[in-house]
Amino acid sequence: MATTLITAAGLVIVLTASPATGEPVKETHGPGLVEIMMATQSHHSKLWLAGNARNWELADYQLDELKEGLEDAAKHIRDYKGIPVGSMIGNLMMTRIAEVENAIKARDLEKFALSFDKLTAACNSCHVGANRGFIVIQRPATSAFPNQSFAPTRK
């Protein structure tokens, strides 16, 4: 009999008995591409909201989370239904992420907006290349996170 545990991050742990020894065997399965991309979309939205509010610390954090998710996708899901996800992320996304990082470090709202739009265009280019052009990412018009302030904190 198998016991399945699912965490909020999408990690699935399955415990089964080994046929040879009867000892428990733990199999770990990470989140799928859809779960990673949903988290990436959330970080993309929060990145815009934070940067647009000039909360550079939060923007940097959200960009790092977005980057980490894409790196995980590239590492663990190199191919998705014949689409070379890993190389597409490396070729299309990482340069754009570096541009956003530089704008955040410079605390330059104009460069941030321009680099964010380039990052967004790269997302959409990746979707088109993956035969998922119907998934169109854009700047959020409003916050989907009404319980979070994106204004910088005053110290």
How far apart are the C-alpha atoms of 53 and 36, rounded to whole Å? Answer: 26
Cα of 18 vs its chain's centroid, Å: 35
Question: Global pTM?
Answer: 0.79
Q: With a cut of 60, say whether residue 26 has pLDDT above it.
A: no
Q: pLDDT tens across 119-137, in order?
A: 999 999 999 999 999 999 9
3-state SS assignment for residue 91: helix
pLDDT tens for 43-80 read: 999 999 999 999 999 999 999 999 999 999 998 888 88
